[in-house]
Structure 1
Amino acid sequence: MANIFPDTSFIYKVFYFFVFATILVLPFHKIFASFPLTFAGMAGVIALLFSGGVKSGNRNPEMLLWCLIFFAFLPGFFIANDQSLAWKDVSGKLYLFATPLLFFFLKPPGEKLFRRMLRLFVFSCLVFILVSIVIAILNYLMHGVSHFFYKELVRFTTMHPSYIGMYINFAIVITGIDFFRNNSKLEKKQRIFYLIALAIMFVYLLILTAKTAILIGGISLIWMFVYWGKKQGKFKLAITYLILALVLLSAIALSNKDIRTRVGMLFNYNEVNYDNSVLSRQYQWLSAWQLINDSNWQGVGADVSTDKLVEYYAKNNFQKGVDERYNTHNQYLQLVVDGGWPALLMFCIALAALLHVAYWSRRYMLFFFLLILSISILTECMFETLSGILFFALFGPLLIWEKPSKKA
């Protein structure tokens, strides 16, 4: 363990061991990942108590902004009539408070250990991609049925495609920034490895057909080519390469029937087909907006928000929403439904402050991580599931530890 976790005491090695375990498991199973993260928290507390962590920790006030995100969910608890029921919702989000608070007091990892944690996540995502593709191939060979799209592709796990797409987009950001920062030091074989890894992740996003994830991936792709062009002084060449890459990815998408069907939902959302997620979102957001206006933006409480939404789904004849008891599938709307405008205001202040810190301190991984968060929660309530809570609770504070870049 000494070589893997350099320059750390034994208890800190135990702490980082469980952090590594969380990172490895996270793309595969949302519940299993909670166990090593909890053990990491316990080891971190012991480190503070017995290793002088409280005295020697490198204070980072930005870390506490992540705690403010947790507080944005408290209005929905306080206005609830049945607070014992509302507490079940809030208690699941305690990771959002406990993790950054603990990281605030802990000594930051060295640069080498920090990079290893991020690269481990990329490795875990690539392994996930390999496993899902192998399983899909075996299903096709054994049963003659294609599982190379959306939920079928990730059916072997408990994860929803939207979350897998979000994870892979973050892995793309890590790989892209790592590649640009170390490009001059990399050998030709290493550069090829980076480019192959990026290509695999981009193509997998297309096959997965989680539409928001594809949008974020497209933004990342454009940024990478523009950044490379400006840095190398070859902007026109970069734009040419970007156009070629977009044409190639579009050709791959158009050649696959399942991808064409999923993308076509964006243009056929008026069809009465509740398997069309675009149409479902339309009903969910309309119902949420009606509920918000009827409650005068004061919120209805986390205890009854789902029941109230179901009532509005019924009024709008959205039977699938009634049967499945959907949330709003938009975290911003969900915050207002649960806790009213104060909840949304606190959340937006925390998010804006973190984006400001990340941009002006040139913590680029944190900045893009926050962009992924901001866009992903437009179509999913990422903070209402353990998959999203663990992801943001771990990597948000972790990326605060990134050393600010000296160069743009």
Structure 2
Amino acid sequence: MEAKTNNKSLVYLEGALFLLFASILLPTNVKSIAVGLFCAVSVYHFFKSKNTFNTRFFLVNAAVYFLIVITLIYSDNIAYGVRKLTSFLSLLLFPLCFALFSRNDMRYLYSRLDKMLGVYLVTVVLFNVIPFLWFYITHYSISDMLIHFPTVMRVDVGKYGIHPIYLSMHCSVAILFSMFILRSLKSKWKIVGVLLLDAILILFLLLYAKKGPILALMIVSTLFILFQRKRAIVRPYIFAILGLVVLMIAIPRTRNKFLELQKIEVIGEGGPTSTNIRYTIYGVAKELIYESPILGYGIGDYRDVLNKKYETTGNSVLKEGRYNTHNQFLSLLTIGGVILLLAFLGTLAINLVFATRFNNELFILVLLFYGIVMLTTNILEREAGVIYFALFFNFLSARTLFVNPSDAS
């Protein structure tokens, strides 16, 4: 049975949280307003309910942001550093907001979890389907759409523009959320409806053909099945995975992306594939890290240093592309060295320990999914990545981090 409340401020807070779960449908500038609204309502509820600030939760989950701020001290390019700190701001705001809630608040909000996950699932589907149908009807043939739609979503939709890698992450996380929704559904029609939404998202995943999110989803979905310990769902899952693999092989775009993994070379020795570009960038980034392993180069200078390194290597592809490290862990090392990386890993580890202790399966799988994707993508340095990582991370963390076993039921 769902928890109920007569606390109006908590109802407002619930509405602001639902808006965030649906915020993929908002243009870029309005997303920031949605985050600001959630922060304002959280502060209002805190004072209205006379809650106690959860200092330990805030310090653990916001530690990385504070360390990034400190690196501004030894940065030369202060203006760029301040702009990047603004991009990272979700890493501070969401720990701050969720630290304002009481255990009863989280118990009430968690009673709405399936609905919030459902809102995210539906809005992600709409965000993919509506532009696809619009551009198919007004601009392109179906064959053109299959080739150009990822580019269309990046450059032709104005303030809704988003890189395919982040679209792939949204699709994957929505599918992961749907697994937990399906677990609690009783109606066959609702189950069929959710499975149809999943099928749509899988087709878009194959269209975007981003290896990292697809592999991460396959890994965490397998773990989800293992967590359930039900033989009845193993066989359907195996058939589903086999069907996905067949589609990946049958679709040239997706097949070619995975074939890149057969031969990984630095650019110059091999072609400028996405895999080879990443492999070459990692080599350059490692050289920089060896030169300043403890403190890194600071939030203001880390990109300038990386771009200058591209110039000295004489690699025109990297120089012209001005690529980031395409690995969140390497990026943290270039920003703040080993100290910053250990702080980030420590935050993840502490949360993973508590999530495991209180059997928070969803949080465990979300942590693992983002951790895997971070091996090939800088999630925290773009709004499309950091807002949702920080939101899901802190919402799920607040239910199990520093609580008593009786509170985690």
Instruction: Please give the range of the TM-score, normalised by the shorter of the 2 chains.
Output: 0.7 to 0.9
* Residues 25, 127 of structure 2: 8 Å contact kept: yes
Counterparts of 1:169 and 1:212, CA distance in 2: 10
Q: Distance in 1 between matches of 2:55 and 2:125?
A: 32
Residue range with higher mean Cα deviation, 92-101 or 137-146: 137-146
The answer to whether the 8 A contact 2:65-2:92 is kept is yes
Q: One-letter code of the match for 1:98? A: L
**Structure 2 counterpart of 1:334:** 331
1:45 maps to 2:48: no
CA separation of 1:358 and 1:249: change in aligned 2, threshold 3 A: same
Residue 253 of structure 1: aligned partner: 248
Contact 2:358 2:408 survives alignment (8 Å) = no
What are the Cα deviations for residues 287-329 of structure 1, in whole angstroms up to 9, with x where unaligned? 1101111224431222221111112112323223222322211
Partner of 1:33: helix, strand, or coil? helix
Q: TM-score, normalised by structure 1?
A: 0.86
Cα distance in structure 2, aligned partners of 1:139 and 1:263? 32
Residue 204 of structure 2 aligns with which residue?
Answer: 204
Aligned equivalent of 2:182, options 176, 179, 182: 179
Contact kept in structure 2, 1:121 and 1:171, CA below 8 Å:
yes
Q: State the partner residue of 2:23.
A: 25
Bigger drift between 189-198 and 397-406 goes to: 397-406
Equivalent residues, number: 394
SS at match of 1:399: helix
Show the counterpart of 2:86.
91
Give the secondary-structure state (helix, strand or coil) at the position aligned to 1:380. Answer: coil
Q: CA deviation at 1:390?
A: 0.9
The range that moved more, 26-35 or 397-406, is 397-406
Q: 2:56 & 2:118 partners in 1: Cα distance? A: 26
Quick one: which of 166, 171, 174 aligns to 2:169?
166
Give, as a single letter, the amino acid of the residue that structure 2 aligns with 1:34: S
CA distance in 1, matches of 2:3, 2:29: 26
CA distance in 1, matches of 2:93, 2:390: 9
The TM-score normalised by the length of structure 2 is 0.85
Moved more, 134-143 or 65-74: 134-143
Letter in 2 for 1:310: N
Do structure 1's residue 385 and structure 2's residue 382 form an aligned pair? yes
Cα offset for 1:214?
Answer: 0.6
Query: Residue 30 of structure 2 aligns to a residue in which SS?
Result: coil
In the alignment, structure 1 segments of 5+ residues that lack a partner are none
Q: CA deviation at 1:80?
A: 1.5
Q: Quick one: distance in 2 between partners of 1:28 and 1:299? A: 36
Rounded Cα–Cα distance in structure 2 between residues aligned with 1:306 and 1:247: 41
The answer to whether structure 1 residue 303 and structure 2 residue 306 are counterparts is: no
Q: 1:63 deviation in Å?
A: 5.4
Deviations 1:319-351 (A, max 9, x none): 232223222111111111111111111111111
Q: Distance in 2 between matches of 1:242 and 1:11?
A: 42
Moved more, 23-32 or 289-298: 23-32
- Shift of residue 10 of structure 1? 3.2
Query: Contact 1:166/1:372 (CA < 8 Å) preserved in 2?
Result: no
Task: Report the counterpart of residue 218 of structure 1 in structure 2.
Answer: 218
- Cα deviation digits, residues 15-74 of structure 1 (max 9, x gap): 33333222212366444311111122112212223x13335x7x5944542212323423
Q: What is the letter of the counterpart of residue 222 of structure 2?
A: I
Match of 2:101 among 103, 106, 109: 106
1:318 is aligned to 315
CA distance in 1, matches of 2:263, 2:149: 18
**Could you tell me how far 1:140 is from its partner in structure 2?**
6.9
Match of 2:146, SS state, is: coil
Unmatched runs of 5 consecutive residues or more in structure 2: none
Q: Distance in 2 between matches of 1:318 and 1:360?
A: 48
State how far apart, in whole Å, the 2-side matches of 1:296 and 1:141 are.
50
Picking from 342, 346, 351, the partner of 2:343 is: 346
Distance 1:406 1:220, change over 3 A: farther
Deviation digits for residues 250-298 of structure 1 (CA, Å, limit 9, x no counterpart): 2222222222222232235447577521111112111110111122443
CA distance in 1, matches of 2:175, 2:141: 32
Hey, what does 1:358 align to over in structure 2? 355
- 1:274 and 1:314 map into 2 onto residues whose CA distance is 19
Q: Which residue of 1 aligns with 2:195?
A: 195
Aligned-residue CA RMSD in angstroms?
3.0
- State how far apart, in whole Å, the 1-side matches of 2:226 and 2:66 are: 37
Contact in 1 for aligned 2:224/2:365 (Cα 8 Å): no
| Partners of 1:80 and 1:86 within 8 A in 2 | yes
